[in-house]
Amino acid sequence: MSLAQHLEREQQHLDAFIALLEAERASLSQGEVDGERLSTQAQQKQHHMERLETLETQRRNVLKKLGYSQGRQGAEAAAREAHCLDAWHAFLSRALHAKQLNQLNGVLIGSRMNQNQRILDFLNNAAGKALYGPNGQSRRRGFGEVASRA
């Protein structure tokens, strides 16, 4: 397989990964988050990341066997000599885009977690003590005349 073909295959997997990151961002941006969907997306994300790592390792090993130095300079030299430098630069650009999307999604997840923690803290303070036990069940029987269980 030529370097150009390998880069094309990596690009296809990277594009699928980016589409998944964009779907994850859309899920996180909704008012009510679908936990099942996010869990499925996280599993798919892990699968794509593993596949991309495998492809990258294969590419690096072949370039090393061909005598190219490790790192970007060696990869760029190989792409130049294989007449696929534009494909290499396009791949790097898409990889940077994927990294930025993944970081943004991480910020959104962190924000959601902080928001949930603030809500729990507020409820705990309003109740005067821990409202929910470790099993997720209410520790209190009710709030005045209002039962806390449906």
What's the fold here for domain 3-130? Methane Monooxygenase Hydroxylase; Chain G, domain 1 (1.20.58)
The per-residue DSSP string of 19-74 comes to: HHHHHHHHHHHSSS--HHHHHHHHHHHHHHHHHHHHHHHHHHHHHHHTTPPSSHHH
pLDDT in the model for residue 141: 57
85 pLDDT more than 80: yes
Segment 30-59 mean pLDDT:
91
Higher per-residue confidence, 62 vs 144: 62
- Residue 31, pLDDT score: 79
Number of H helices, E strands in the chain: 4, 2
Each domain of the chain, given as residue ranges in start order, spans: 3-130
- Which pLDDT score, from 0 to 100, does residue 77 have? 95
Per-residue pLDDT tens over the stretch 106-147: 999 898 889 888 988 888 777 766 556 677 777 665 554 455
Tell me the three state secondary structure of residue 143. Answer: strand
Mean pLDDT of 45-63: 94
The answer to whether residue 13 scores a pLDDT higher than 90 is yes
Q: Which pLDDT value is given to residue 123?
A: 80
Average pLDDT over the chain, rounded to an integer: 87
| Burial 121-147, CB ≥16 within 10 A → b, else e | eeeeeeeeeebeeeeeeeeeeeeeeee
